[in-house]
Amino acid sequence: MVATLHSNELTMQANILIQNLTQQTQQIIAKVQPLRYQEFSFLSWKEDENSWSILECIEHLNRYSNFYFPQIAQKIKYAKHGHETEFKSGFLGGYFAKTMLPKEKLNKMKTFKDKNPLHANVDISVIDTFLAQQTQFLELLQHAKNVSLNKTKVETSLTALLKLNLGDTFQFLINHIIRHLHQIDRIQTAIKNAGRIKSNA
């Protein structure tokens, strides 16, 4: 299970935030890597035609990374404000990040059409893409140590008019991944309960 940050503090040391996010990303990589050795029938299993498979969950995450990572890299490269010791979560950014965290019963959220992988032509390569993107995320976190997590702003996928600070953007992306890893856990449980497809684990 990937650990989540339970602190309700709005302010924390910037280096501690980067350290926590780095550890979470490493846990995410370790959790997803074993999926590469599962059979396609296992990874593409769906509870019903409107449910996502494991591969579709991963593809959904990849689409978010495709949107945010290039932008984050540019924002860091051309940042006008240097490192600050303290990070303070914004009101909206903190809210968005917290709403992404999984609950005991997953609260459904509307997925934008361009981020919805339902019935997409996906294969096992989406897992390799995801792992490569998480390695890139680790690099972005390291580069972010040199810029302001508060004053560096990132456009959201909702609208270019709504921007979050870099620290909140990082937390949002991590929590979003954790949310869908919980979804993948539930899919694997459903597969085993169905008893038709065996896991290689």
Using pLDDT thresholds of 50, 70 and 90, give the confidence band for residue 120: confident
Using pLDDT thresholds of 50, 70 and 90, give the confidence band for residue 113: low
For the chain, the structural domain boundaries read: 58-194
| Residue 61: closest CA among 100, 4, 92, 20 | 100
Q: How many angstroms separate the CA atoms of 168 and 87, rounded?
A: 9
> What is the rounded radius of gyration, in angstroms, for the C-alpha atoms of the chain?
17
Cβ neighbours for 16, distance < 8 A, ≥ 6 positions apart = none
What is the per-residue pLDDT across 57-96, written as a single tens digit (0 to 9) for each? 999 999 999 999 999 999 999 999 999 999 999 888 888 8
Q: How many angstroms separate the CA atoms of 111 and 55, rounded?
A: 16
Phi, psi of 105 (to 5 degrees): -115, 115
HSE at residue 73, side-chain half, CA atoms within 13 A, is: 11
What is the per-residue pLDDT across 28-40, written as a single tens digit (0 to 9) for each? 999 999 999 999 9
Q: At what angle do helices 125-143 and 14-32 cross, to 10 degrees?
A: 170
Share of the chain above pLDDT 90, in %: 68
pLDDT above 60: residue 3: no
Please tell me the pTM assigned to this model: 0.87
